[in-house]
Amino acid sequence: MRKTSEKQKKQHDVIIAGGGLAGLVMAARLGSAGLDVAVVERIAQANMTSTAFDGRSTAIAYGSARILDACGVWNKIKDTTCPIDDIRVADQRSALTLDFESKDVFLCDASAPNGATGPAKDVFLCDASAPNGATGPAKDVFLCDASAPNGATGPAGGDKAFGYIVENTVFRTALFERLAELNNVTLACPVAIQAIHYEDDAITLALDDNSTLRARLLIAADGKKSFCREHAGIQARHWSYNETALVVTIKHTMPHHNLALEYFYPGGPFAVLPMSDNRSSIVWTEKPDTAAALHTMPEDEFIGLLKERGCENLGGISLATPRQQYPLRFMLADSLHAPRLALIGEAAHSMHPVAGQGFNLTVRDIGVLGDLIEMRFKTDGDIGADELLQRYDAGRQLDHFTFMTATDVLVKLFSNNVLPLRLIRRFGLALIEKIPPAKKFFSRMAMGLITSGK
């Protein structure tokens, strides 16, 4: 990775506005494919890798891990992640729970007929005669290989998990390390974009250090209040949930058994996500005034409330990081492109953290756009052509709309204490629990293996 400080115009294939997780993964994806990439970020690199800057963790679905593996990133973080082997969902502290176990989703065994065993045999079919051992409708979902442990391959290296939890600071550090290995990636940081100039065959950025960057394509990964999106005149639908996510990492004396918990309360979801080293990430959603009170309350009182909410089986608890607050909003851009511009990540969409699918939606953006750009780049075509950007837009809109609408409905259905709705949602959870195909469908969605735009 090169760092730029020279006050001159530099020519690149792609400029990425924003050096958050989305922008850095996009840079790793395109840099690994051989493109000349510049990343523009207004915050200093050292600040972005501190816990004080971001104390959150990210849920990486199995499908997203496969994309990170192709970017050369997964191997740098896999040993620090914690697998999510099982998921439990409940309406408040109801005895009726919806339990997902990874062993029920995909079990591969070379000794079984057609390479499949257990309740997943009708979902994941394996056949040594097929490419990479995969056949049937699941061939693009899970690949089995007799040379891998228990017949499993891919970024999980034989693991069978719904996904993985990684600290954002660890994730960012690994991404910067990956970019440092790529001589075709330049980091302009800390600098801000002052102006964007569009040409027929290129786009030019004027930066606040008096330098300029030029490329055939600008990818906006500059967040919810995207300067690039607004500059292009792309409208967005947005509203506040009137909720705040309180985030903290806890240490505990009892094991979490790689179980992710999500309880729905009237104020919002309460999630306990397993982390490495006997730690868990708490995402406690509440109304803003309640979240502010939780943020400042004495630690022993706060820990007592954690145990009441769903952490009672974790033994002795202490806070491993400061408590941080994040206001929650819905935002969905009306379009994902403009001339020489593509939107990804929170420049394109911002969703409620319930179910932890926001980043995985972003990774699917990166997967689709990265594939389109790489194919065009290898044929010496125009990677910023409007026709290519229209294909990206069309390929992602349905996935965005479906997942974000479903998430929005889920939040509004569960974040209340209205008796009829409470009865309906508890009946719904019990019904899904009793219907194996429905459970498999939602399990594979959680793994990022089913998308509406594929």
Domain ranges of the chain: 2-81+168-238+332-413, 106-152
Pairs from 237-240 (Cβ < 8 Å, separation ≥ 24): 237/330, 237/331, 237/332, 237/334, 238/329, 238/330, 238/331, 238/332, 238/350, 239/329, 239/330, 240/327, 240/328, 240/329, 240/330
Residue 126: its pLDDT value, please?
Answer: 36
In angstroms, what CA-CA distances link 384 with 47, 127, 223, 399? 32, 40, 21, 22
Task: State the burial class of residue 131 (Cβ atoms within 10 Å of its Cβ: 0-12, 13-18, 19+).
Answer: exposed
Task: State the burial class of residue 296 (Cβ atoms within 10 Å of its Cβ: 0-12, 13-18, 19+).
Answer: exposed
Residue 161: its pLDDT value, please?
Answer: 83
- Report CA dihedral (379, 69, 153, 60) to the nearest 10 degrees: -130
Residue 9: its pLDDT value, please?
Answer: 61
Residue 171: its pLDDT value, please?
Answer: 96
Q: Give Cβ neighbours of residue 154 (< 8 Å, ≥ 6 apart).
A: 62, 65, 66, 69, 142, 143
Rounded to an integer, what distance in angstroms lies between the CA atom of residue 289 and that of residue 295?
A: 10
DSSP-assigned states of every residue in 363-391: HHHHHHHHHHHHHHHHTT--TT-HHHHHH
Predicted TM-score (pTM) of the model is 0.83
pLDDT along the chain (454 residues), means of 10: 58 97 98 97 91 88 90 95 90 71 54 38 35 37 35 47 92 97 95 94 95 97 96 95 95 96 89 95 96 97 96 96 94 96 97 86 96 97 97 94 83 66 60 57 55 47
For Cα atoms 54, 245, 168, give the angle at the middle one, nearest 5 degrees: 25
Rounded to an integer, what distance in angstroms lies between the CA atom of residue 12 and that of residue 184?
A: 9
Look at residue 138 and give its three-state secondary structure: helix
Using the CB atoms, write b or e for 270-280: b if 16+ within 10 Å: bbbbbbeebbb
Q: Which fold has domain 2-81+168-238+332-413?
A: FAD/NAD(P)-binding domain (3.50.50)
State the DSSP code for 235. Answer: -
